[in-house]
A and B are shown apart, each in its own frame.
Chain A
Amino acid sequence: MGFSVTELYKKYGDKVVVDHLSFKMDQPGVYALLGTNGAGKTTSIRMILNMLAKDGGTVEWNGGPLTLRTCNVGYLAEERGLYPKNTLMDQLMYFAALRGVSKDEAKKRIAYWAKRLEAEEYLYPKQEGKKPVKPKKADQLSKGNQQKIQLMMALLSDPELLILDEPLSGLDPVNTDLFKSIIHEEIDKGKYLIMSSHQMATIEEFCTDLTILSRSKTVLQGNLAEIKKSYGRINLFVKAEQKLKDLIEAAGVTILSSVGFSYQCRVTGEAQANALLKTLVEQGITLIAFELREPSLHEIFVEKVGDVHEES
């Protein structure tokens, strides 16, 4: 059961754009595909969805090849668009029909999602005065509102596998929260989600497992919590009311960055951090903050991708 990608491979001419990517999801949850621009995330997604021919590898859903017929997929593409001159309702009904949703069911689902995504005013415009109300067309909507309609299209078939490519890019904070709440709902419903994003905080909020791609290669893969655990608590944040640079360096701690009397440091482990704390207390330093924590996904990403960039 579940979803798996094995040895996915693609090249254009001599240039390899996806180099033997493999990952799997044995149970519902969120899997993140991360990477720098041009790392091969979107190409991988297109191959997973059979939009691009694979030069190698397999994509399986519940033990068989993943096709339009074997898996109900919902996809929010990074490149967003709608037919500009067609009405929104027509387009939604069209997508529903293509996915085999009956007319009546489609109408119900559209009504549900219109309410849920606060898009009722665009889909069911109210009559003002005696003038007949013209249904809204896509080019009459803002980018954010068009994105709502596209998310509706992806969700209309009640998909088992939902692929979201940069789902929150270009949204205002209110709509970001709205989209996040919907993603949480889909996770709670037991869906399989694959998410690609540059917003690390968003990925950290949702995903359980991840793959980081850099220049077509997998540079890090696994369970996010375990990856973080493997790094240990090596990030130290210290804030005081005076300069601490000399004391921190004397304790053998590396300062990564500093702003005023705040210091982002890297320690070898808890023992070194405790030793520094002891020194600071003994010196009578008034501490405002002293926080030892695991590295953030952002820090892991920068470290891993930075390594590859340096190597190349």
Chain B
Amino acid sequence: MKNPELHGIGTVFRYTVQQHYKTPSIIVFLVILFLLAVCSMPAILLFSGHEQEVTETQIHTLYLRNESGFPLNAAAVQADARYAALTVVETDEDDEALSERVLKEKNAAAAVLAIREDAVELFRSAADQKKASKGAKDQFTLRTVYGENGEVTSADAETLNHVLEGALHQSLLDSLAITEEQAVTVQSSAVSQVAKLSEFRSGTEESSTDTHVFLNIGYCYLLVIICAMSIAHVNQTCMEEKVSKLVESLLVSVSPTALLAGKLLAVALFIFAGFGIVGIGFFISWQIAGRMGGFSFLVPTLERFLQFSISSIRISGGTLLLLILCIVIAFAMYAGLSGISGSCCSKTEDLQSASFLTMFFLMAGYLGGAFAPMFENDAVNLFCSLFPVTSVFTAFPNYLCGKIGLPVLLLALVIQAATAVLLVRTAGRVYKMMLLYRGSVPKPKQIVRMLKEERAAAKAAAGKEAQHGKE
């Protein structure tokens, strides 16, 4: 390496990484994290009640109590090959009597189809016809009951319930004498949007505010975790040599710049490797869940509950690269900030007061990033995307949701990168200046004054040395 200031980075990096992974507690922590990630999706699948549909049923008799007033075509149930032999017995018995039947007969299940009281009114009111037709799909309740001690399993009952749901739908269409296609056509809704002319011309699609808010909060969570880890690790790493009183012995072998850079790179590796391990865990978990019956229900469920539309997000290979770049820049910014605060500490007790400013910026950025989309204002989105404190939290999700264009995102990234470089360089200077400092944590004003003095002294010394060289 040509720059003598950077000589030894590789050695510092390797040593720091080696020592980090030699710590048993870290290995145990990573293994636990990996296992949790692997188990996560199968666990969700198991506990969410979405079980794989059965191919062969143990239900021989179904006692059906239809309270809805609408017909439920039993033939539609029997049309499913698995339930061809199913006997459907329509009954008016109350819950108690139905329960008795299910308890006594090991291969029986009961189903109750009802219509909500308010929905009855809704259907009857001519004035609310439009409203009724819009909300009609959620007005029925269909409950299939099975005995815990019988031969009918939960998955079996779940599958039958799905088939009954389909039969009800078909019966409703039949009662109105319309086809499936006609029903879909009538129920189709339109996505309405307001678009800027530039977006209209470029063909970009703007996502809904809910999607924007959801995405921003999710991204902010991810960044806060990464940045908080960065702050904790970098603070510790900047103090390590001071606390162990090894700093002077080290400085005859390696420059402070190389020492800090090597350690920061190692911290970056710990954090991103940790996320990589969790990512691999989730991938394996997804594969296992796929074999268990799939996750096809997850995205629609999320979309329905969170009003989240995955189709309106710009996702491509390029966005993944942008995501990685954004995260790396955010890490560098907060590593620089915590490098400055950590360098000012002489002992562990100093960390709390020294980290206050870094934590303040982190929380300000997080809150700004999380709440900015709620304003639904382009100016706010633009400001948050370009202002360095909030930019790391908002620029990328704003771009994903079409709130800002690629040129603005690139400008935001340039601003973020410049801020990160400035902070890391300042951290390097403060680290060098404060390595031999012992005392209370200096205030930001004092640090700026010391930096100015140091620069002036370095210039003066360089001038004198040059003069001495000429002589």
Decide: A51 and B244 in contact? CB cutoff 8 A. Answer: no
Decide: A75 and B246 in contact? CB cutoff 8 A. Answer: no
Decide: B19 and A90 in contact? CB cutoff 8 A. Answer: yes
Decide: A77 and B248 in contact? CB cutoff 8 A. Answer: yes
Determine the chain B residues whose CB is within 8 A of the CB of A95 once the complex forms.
249, 253
Determine the chain B residues whose CB is within 8 A of the CB of A80 once the complex forms.
245
Determine the chain B residues whose CB is within 8 A of the CB of A98 once the complex forms.
8, 11-12, 250, 253-254
Q: Which stretch in A23-31, A53-61, A113-121, A219-227 binds the other chain?
A: A53-61
Specify which of B253, B457, B458, B460 is in contact with A68 (CB 8 Å cutoff).
B253
A5 contacts the other chain (Cβ, under 8 Å)?
Answer: no
Decide: A150 and B11 in contact? CB cutoff 8 A. Answer: no
B15 contacts the other chain (Cβ, under 8 Å)?
Answer: yes
B222 contacts the other chain (Cβ, under 8 Å)?
Answer: no
CA distance A28 to B245 in the complex (A): 30
CA distance A86 to B457 in the complex (A): 37
Decide: A79 and B245 in contact? CB cutoff 8 A. Answer: yes
- In the complex, which residue of chain B has the Cβ closest to the Cβ of A60? B468
CA distance A145 to B247 in the complex (A): 19
B280 contacts the other chain (Cβ, under 8 Å)?
Answer: no
A99 contacts the other chain (Cβ, under 8 Å)?
Answer: yes
> Are A82 and B8 CB-contacts (below 8 A) given A95-B253, A153-B249?
no
A198 to chain B, nearest CB (A): 18
Specify which of B19, B252, B454 is in contact with A49 (CB 8 Å cutoff).
B252
- In the complex, which residue of chain B has the Cβ closest to the Cβ of A11? B457
Decide: B7 and A69 in contact? CB cutoff 8 A. Answer: yes
Determine the chain A residues whose CB is within 8 A of the CB of B247 once the complex forms.
81
Determine the chain A residues whose CB is within 8 A of the CB of B15 once the complex forms.
90, 94, 97
Determine the chain B residues whose CB is within 8 A of the CB of A73 once the complex forms.
252
Interface residue tally on B, bucketed by range: 20 to 34
Determine the chain A residues whose CB is within 8 A of the CB of B468 once the complex forms.
6, 58
B165 contacts the other chain (Cβ, under 8 Å)?
Answer: no
CA distance A208 to B444 in the complex (A): 47
Decide: B4 and A51 in contact? CB cutoff 8 A. Answer: no
A46 contacts the other chain (Cβ, under 8 Å)?
Answer: yes
B346 to chain A, nearest CB (A): 12
B301 contacts the other chain (Cβ, under 8 Å)?
Answer: no
Determine the chain B residues whose CB is within 8 A of the CB of A2 once the complex forms.
none
Decide: A82 and B460 in contact? CB cutoff 8 A. Answer: no
Decide: A56 and B4 in contact? CB cutoff 8 A. Answer: no
A67 contacts the other chain (Cβ, under 8 Å)?
Answer: yes
> Are A68 and B11 CB-contacts (below 8 A) given A53-B461, A75-B249?
no
A269 contacts the other chain (Cβ, under 8 Å)?
Answer: no
Instruction: Report the 10 A-B pairs with minimum CB-CB distance, sorted nearest first.
Output: A81-B245, A77-B248, A98-B253, A81-B246, A75-B252, A97-B11, A94-B15, A81-B244, A51-B251, A54-B461
Cβ contacts A to B, 18 pairs, < 8 Å? A46-B436, A49-B252, A51-B248, A51-B252, A53-B461, A56-B460, A68-B253, A73-B252, A76-B249, A81-B249, A82-B246, A83-B244, A90-B15, A90-B18, A94-B15, A95-B249, A98-B8, A157-B253
